[in-house]
Chains A and B, each alone.
Chain A
Amino acid sequence: ETGVTQTPRHLVMGMTNKKSLKCEQHLGHNAMYWYKQSAKKPLELMFVYNFKEQTENNSVPSRFSPECPNSSHLFLHLHTLQPEDSALYLCASSQDQGTSGSPETQYFGPGTRLLVL
């Protein structure tokens, strides 16, 4: 148990559906992250929040919309997704957002396996 939980663990949705992924961390961390993991590809950073403020948007399509109401919770709202969006979506947290001179270990949740039909 890493202290980061994600719900749901599995999700199947049609291209016209709207759904949300939820992440909660119980570690008292200030930074939270969304990653996408597809087969045979490295983890792709999607969004970063530090102290509830979005600090990174890695050119993610607008059909993915993050929300961070407080430092412990992070949501990813999904709307009109495409089949190529099917992947494992991982949430992570760290004490603070790392820098090149001060790395931060990230703690990951178990992920949400998303299938878009």
Chain B
Amino acid sequence: SQKIEQNSEALNIQEGKTATLTCNYTNYSPAYLQWYRQDPGRGPVFLLLIRENEKEKRKERLKVTFDTTLKQSLFHITASQPADSATYLCALTGANNLFFGTGTRLTVIP
């Protein structure tokens, strides 16, 4: 079965810096990879989807890369703000469902 690892449980960065979160997976490469944001006491919210034939995807201050050779996706938040503080989850498409990582809790320090 697919194993998904997100590099660290928690990440602290200074406001204005770029946050980089890592998602590594074992086994087969999924055709699609998604990133979600989860705030305390709330359900995850979809942010971005990237296809295996796309190297990079951008949305405002967010950028996602997908390297099927390294079996890795990177999630970047540029010009980070305290409001970006949340847990970020990567999710891979499996046979018929999504499989989620444990998430990285990002704290942006003012």
Q: Which residues on A are within 8 Å of B, measured CB to CB?
A: 2, 4, 33, 40-43, 45, 48, 55-56, 90-92, 97-101, 103, 105-111, 113
Contact = CB atoms under 8 A, between A and B. Distances in A.
Given A100-B31, A100-B95, A100-B96, 13 more contacts: A2-B45, A4-B43, A42-B4, A42-B100, A42-B103, A43-B100, A48-B96, A91-B43, A98-B96, A98-B98, A101-B31, A105-B34, A108-B45
17 contacts: A2-B45, A4-B43, A42-B100, A42-B101, A55-B96, A92-B43, A98-B93, A100-B96, A103-B31, A103-B32, A103-B98, A105-B34, A106-B46, A107-B46, A110-B41, A110-B42, A113-B41
Contact of A97 (B30, B97, B100): B97
Interface residues of B, number: 25
A49 B95 CA distance: 15
Contacts of A48: 96-97
Given A43-B89, A56-B96, A106-B98, A100 B43 contact: no
Contacts of A41: 102
Interface in B51-110: 89, 93-103
A111 to B, nearest CB: 5
A56 B16 CA distance: 43
B11 interface: no
A98 to B, nearest CB: 6
Contact of A110 (B43, B93, B95): B43
A104 B53 CA distance: 17
Given A42-B101, A97-B96, A100-B96, A109 B31 contact: no
Contacts of A101: 31
A80 B77 CA distance: 44
Interface centre among B97, B98, B99 (most CB of A within 10 A): B97
A10 B4 CA distance: 29
